Amino acid sequence: MRIAWYTHRYAPCLGGAETYGRAMVRRLVDQGHGVDVLTSDARDLWYFNDPRRARLDEPPVSTIDGARVRRFPVRHIPMQRYFGKLLSYAPHWPTQCRFASYMPLIPELERTSETYDAVFAVGFPFTNFSFAAWKKARSCGAPLILTPFLHLATPGDPVHRHYTKPHQLRLLREADAVVVVTELESEAVAGWGIPRSRIVKVSMGYEPTEVCGGRGDRFRETYRIGPSQPMIGHLATLDPNKGTNDLVQSVMALNALRAADDPVALVLAGVSSPHFERFAAELPSSTKRWLIRTGPLSTTDKADFFDAIDVFAMPSRTDSFGIVFLEAWANGKPVVAAAAGGVAEVVEHDRTGVLVPFGNVEKLSSVLEWLIDQPETARRLGEAGRQRVAQGCSWDECFATIAAQLNRLIRRNLRMDPQATALPESTDRMIQTRPMNVGRSQVGR
């Protein structure tokens, strides 16, 4: 089959939606299907409306893991955020899907001429990609499978409102299947009128070869962290919504009570948002002795990072699941998360980790101190997490569920087409999935 995968960013970009997308695309290719990934040329999300931010130095068309990746250029115009926000209020569904203050302008995304047998789209609130996927699916008579990754946070929270707008709900209703990752997300989608027969619940996964077997001693030596120095790790887009600012403030408070020569090290790994950069610029110089920023990590460095840390913390309100928690657990590390959205289903409080209220710096500092001072408790939580990921947290299982749903949709379309007499052999193979042996990722052109 010919399959289209629409997403706002793709490898080598890092993030939850990007990790999920690459894992599914790899397996579609492994099953013998031709896959086109249709995405932007943005390296970070802020390039969508700020040309001073980073774009990818990649060709417009390349091959990654056997899939053809097409990167469409993000366009910029003066006062873009202002006009985008203004247009988002227009009482016109396509316009609402294409524009918002944070939405990229990518006119070429809707002008592709290829024909596909199935179309996937990933990632709200950037609905211009999902809308382009919907148009393509309808023009081809192909099923649309949408994975929104709804950051539901807490009702009343501004983040919740960014994922529950009328044009977004209509996109969900227009999809032939909606993939959700938690029961919270499933109940929300069902409550918006999407039949449960079209809701597909899956668990996220991780690639053991990419996050396990690292050398923590090498990581600590590289960043001059003592072998016995307590170390907290944070792997995410550095941003207030991810809890990064709160985490820095909590460790600052924790270290204020410790001896000057025995600070807790806080390692922040990932690209920085403008909001965090402004916050970091005002930090006192004393934080330099314990605050380490690595930038994005390579695959090798990522495995070393997880092996090196004592506690993983991402007290975020903008995660629908949190794949990084699975990666930390795979290394036997306890996690600290915010009790916001679907993460509260993923992290079991006082069993695989600790949940804290989002934005409560004092509580966060207290929990981190507790885990640092109680290594037996930290090990207990980490080992429970390791057992958790050993049971049903593989990308193969996730793919098998999605492939089975796609197979049903393809069979339905064939039944509706009086000219169709047989199911393509390649489609039959979709649900006969075999475990993939995915090693260290390679990007080819």
Domains parsed from the chain with CATH numbers:
2-205+394-444 (3.40.50.2000), 209-389 (3.40.50.2000)
pLDDT of residue 159: 77
HSE (side-chain half, CA atoms, 13 Å) at 412: 14
What does each of the 445 residues of the chain score in pLDDT, given as a tens digit? 999 999 999 999 989 999 999 999 999 999 999 999 999 999 999 999 999 999 999 999 999 999 999 999 999 999 999 999 999 999 999 999 999 999 999 999 999 999 999 999 998 999 999 999 999 999 999 999 999 999 887 767 777 888 999 999 999 999 999 999 999 999 999 999 999 999 999 999 999 999 999 999 999 999 999 999 999 999 999 999 999 999 999 999 999 999 999 999 999 999 999 999 999 999 999 999 999 999 999 989 999 999 999 999 999 999 999 999 999 999 999 999 999 989 999 999 999 999 999 999 999 999 999 999 999 999 999 999 999 998 878 999 999 999 999 999 999 887 766 544 333 444 445 444 444 444 433 333 3
| Residue 311: strand, helix, or coil | strand
Q: Which residues contact 333 (CB under 8 A, 6 or more apart)?
A: 233, 306, 309, 310, 311, 312, 382, 385
Give the predicted TM-score (pTM) of the model: 0.90
pLDDT of residue 186: 96
pLDDT of residue 391: 83
pLDDT of residue 278: 96
pLDDT of residue 442: 37
pLDDT of residue 157: 78
Task: Dump the DSSP string for 233-297.
Answer: EEES-BSGGGTHHHHHHHHHHHHHTS-TTSPPEEEEESPBPHHHHHHHHTS-GGGGGTEEEEESP
Residue type, 325: F
**Alpha-carbon gap, residue 194 to 376, rounded angstroms:** 46
